Amino acid sequence: MKTALTLSVALATFAHAADPASSTPGVALTIYNQNFGVVRETRNLSITDGTVRFQDVAKQIDPTSVHFLSLTDPAAKVLEQNYEYDLVSADKLLEKYIDRDITVKTAGGAVYTGKLQSVDPNQIVLQQGGDKGLAMIQRPMNVVDIQFGALPEGLITRPSLVWKVATEKPGDQLVEIAYQTQGISWTADYNLVLNPDETQADLGGWVTINNQSGATYKDAKLKLVAGDVNRVQPPAQARGMAKEMMVQSAPADAEGFEEKSFFEYHLYTLGRPATVAENQTKQIELLSANAVPVKKIYLYNGQPQMRFYGGLQMSDEFGSENSNKKVNVSFEIKNSKENKLGMALPKGKIRISKRDPADNSLEFVGEDEIDHTPKNEKIRITTGDAFDIVGERKRTDFKLNTGGHVATESFEIKVRNHKDVPVEVIVKETLYRWSQWEITASSEKFLKEDSNTIHFPVTIDKDGEKVVTYTVKYTW
């Protein structure tokens, strides 16, 4: 396949200036959590007659993203590029050998030699010499060996970039290339192990790399980018890369990941070389923190389906559906140095476990997904619903004065605690009818969370019940 060579200025900046060690042979790999990566490789090549073959590139390479730079002759230019990916296989060899001689051996010991006439998954047709005529050889479970004279022209064993290069210094040169490839991605996974009283937890994070790009990156300098990078979708394949902007790095083990700000994203650089093999899933530790403070939160939302949609909702029946009885359980962690964290956390799945004191076995209690979380922001992890805490909500009154543009509504919320210890529960209420409202009566103190949400923090004794009542007045 022949393609025009796109030399993106941004990609060139990223590939060359960002890696001061590029003057020595080696490979660097930057993986994005959007199923693509950037490969930067420095290699010694012989450029004598103007043609250069660069083998072992990723099968899923984007040829339009290639950047070429000769460190020996910076004035050297690529005049033409071919990406050759017609790799040799048994069927392709057979197709290339139509009208040419081959030898076929069968499981029964028969040997056939002749010109190949046709081939498909079921049979091979040979024109044998002399008066033997055509031989139709069944393939499945029958053909044990096929012999060819030589590799046909046009088939290659490894995907390659072939360049026509103009240079004034023919001979051995140290060249650097960079390109994008699909088929390689990474995700973050976290494990949170709660202590017995659920006030602290050990947090571990792992990076999982899945390489289906069609290449192996041996002893690569490995970087991971976390963030939502905008990309032009096919058919427009050329993609630019962001210019790098460094700030103070988070401390890291020399063998682990070092995290730092990168443009509007975050970059994680592994402190040791790593080999990422083709068709391999690789896991590397991202972080480990012990005794991280956590806050357990019970939340009761009696009508979670109700929202304020910006329109007047004054029907008597609106919002009179049966209430939800489940009380949600979650944990909150502040991503700060004081809490033994403080590095930007990439999005990923987080699993929560707790040890059973009877046998010290680790038991799974829930999982959630966290988004990209900057330092000093809070993480909310939902584990499920409480078994021993039950809520009940009902509307006790509703009055509508259409002429006076006034409506009043009253509710009673009951939360029962069947645990043998007191618990704190947040009762969440959404004031969904209109944007102008006033709480005219309330049995408990409330906190205004936003323009249409209030919270009642309540403490419920063991085997006890708390009743929250309030009246809201809407005007329009």
- For residue range 221-248, what is the model confidence (pLDDT) as tens digits? 999 999 888 877 665 443 333 333 333 3
| Omega before 235 within 30 of 0, i.e. cis | yes
294-335+377-475 adopts what CATH topology? Chondroitinase Ac; Chain A, domain 3 (2.60.220)
3-state helix vs strand vs coil in the chain, percent to 5: 5, 55, 40
Tell me how many degrees the CA angle 109-112-116 measures, rounded to the nearest 5. Answer: 140
Contact 342, 334 (CB under 8 A): no
The model's pLDDT over 354-387, given as tens digits with 9 standing for 90+, comes to: 999 999 999 999 999 999 999 999 999 999 999 9
Q: Measured between alpha carbons, how far is 378 from 450 in angstroms, rounded to an integer?
A: 18
90-147 adopts what CATH topology? SH3 type barrels. (2.30.30)
Q: What is the pLDDT of residue 233?
A: 65
Do domains 90-147 and 294-335+377-475 share one topology? The answer is no
Asked if the model's pLDDT at residue 23 lies above 80, the reply is no
Domain ranges of the chain: 1-83+158-185+207-285, 90-147, 294-335+377-475
- Biggest CA pair distance of the chain: 108
Asked if the model's pLDDT at residue 310 lies above 90, the reply is no
Q: What is the pLDDT of residue 93?
A: 79
Could you tell me which residues are beta bridge partners of residue 167? none
Per-chain mean pLDDT for the chain = 87
Using alpha carbons, select from 275, 244, 263, 260 the residue that is nearest to residue 20. Answer: 244
Sheet containing 160-166: give its strands across: 2-3, 77-84, 160-166, 51-55
Q: What is the pLDDT of residue 301?
A: 96
Could you tell me which residues are beta bridge partners of residue 472? 409, 439
Q: What is the pLDDT of residue 234?
A: 60
Of residues 100 and 300, more confidently modeled? 300
Asked if the model's pLDDT at residue 313 lies above 90, the reply is no
Percent of the chain having pLDDT more than 70? 87
Q: Measured between alpha carbons, how far is 25 from 45 in angstroms, rounded to an integer?
A: 11
Contact 375, 335 (CB under 8 A): yes
The model's pLDDT over 389-398, given as tens digits with 9 standing for 90+, comes to: 999 999 999 9
Contact 225, 33 (CB under 8 A): yes
